Amino acid sequence: MKHLAAALALMASPVMAEDTELFVESNLLSIFYHELGHALIDIMQLPVFGQEEDAADVLSVLLIDAFYDEETAQAIAYDAAFGFLGEVAERGDEEIAYWGVHGPDEQRYYNLVCLFYGANPDERDDLAVDLGLPEERAELCEDEFALANDSWGPVLDEMAKSGGGDTIKYVSEGDSLTHILMEDEVRELNAEFQLPQTLTVRVEPCDEPNAFYDLSEQSITMCTEFEPFLRTLAPE
């Protein structure tokens, strides 16, 4: 646990603490890309060998790596990793729900750091050290990223080969950070990709801080409660 303890200490450091709004934005992006993974698995009828939640986590990291310049991608990765640590701190002494569909936040944290580092180890060595990635795991991360890219890459290529379209529909109105961010993301995704079926994206109250993909409606919902919850997890 010494690596995780060091990372938790880093999260509390005023030197590394990111601006709260940037932290919230980064985590909303990471969560949205995760839910997009669920949507693509459904809409594209993709086989999943293992836990679907893990596959969705992998896509989130791949999109952060692919969509942003190096400085921005690293900032998002730091904040998304801190988001998992925030969940760990929020849980406190509460027992880990090993029966849940999501892996423990500690494991999701290390998977994110490893995949992101493995995509560009020459430029991300400091990140791996800062976030406490053990050397024995770091040695495997380039191969882990290559496998993930080989799995998701053809799916993204298939979506991009027809050029942009309007198959992702944003249907909500509002001026919160979540509303603005989701509207911008849908616009950017439509500029690059086209899906075989329409995917709806909405922002609405859910009575809990959550985000989810609805199979029956083929829609992603980003709950309005998530944004204020993420602010409580932000590094101080």
| List of residues 6+ apart from 179 with CB closer than 8 A | 172, 173, 203
How many Å apart are CA 202 and CA 138, to the nearest integer? 37
Residue 80 is predicted with a pLDDT of 96
pLDDT beyond 90 at 153: yes
How is the chain split into domains, by residue range?
2-233
Confidence class for position 60, pLDDT limits 50, 70, 90: very high
What pLDDT, in 10s, does the model give residues 116-135? 999 999 999 999 999 999 99
| List of residues 6+ apart from 137 with CB closer than 8 A | 110, 114
Rg over CA atoms, the chain:
17
Q: In what order do the strands lie in the sheet with 211-214?
A: 168-170, 199-204, 219-223, 211-214
Q: Are 9 and 219 in contact (CB under 8 A)?
A: no
Mean of pLDDT values over 144-150 = 97
What pLDDT, in 10s, does the model give residues 76-130? 999 999 999 987 656 555 565 544 445 577 889 999 999 999 999 999 999 999 9
Tokens found for residue 147: 């496998």
How many Å apart are CA 229 and CA 206, to the nearest integer? 13
| List of residues 6+ apart from 178 with CB closer than 8 A | 28, 203, 222, 224, 226, 227
How many Å apart are CA 197 and CA 200, to the nearest integer? 10
Q: Are 26 and 75 in contact (CB under 8 A)?
A: yes
pLDDT beyond 90 at 1: no
6-20, 22-36, 206-220: least confidently modelled range: 6-20
Residue 127 is predicted with a pLDDT of 97
pLDDT greater at residue 49 or residue 198? 198
How many Å apart are CA 91 and CA 88, to the nearest integer? 5
| List of residues 6+ apart from 154 with CB closer than 8 A | none
How many Å apart are CA 155 and CA 212, to the nearest integer? 21
Can you say whether residue 200 is alpha, beta or left, with left for phi > 0 and alpha for psi between -120 and 50 degrees? beta
pLDDT beyond 50 at 6: no
Q: Are 83 and 27 in contact (CB under 8 A)?
A: yes
Would the pTM of this model clear 0.85, i.e. be above it? yes
Phi, psi angles (nearest 5°) of residue 212: -160, 160
Residue 217 is predicted with a pLDDT of 97
Nearest-10 Cα torsion for 26, 32, 35, 39:
-140
Residue 19 is predicted with a pLDDT of 87
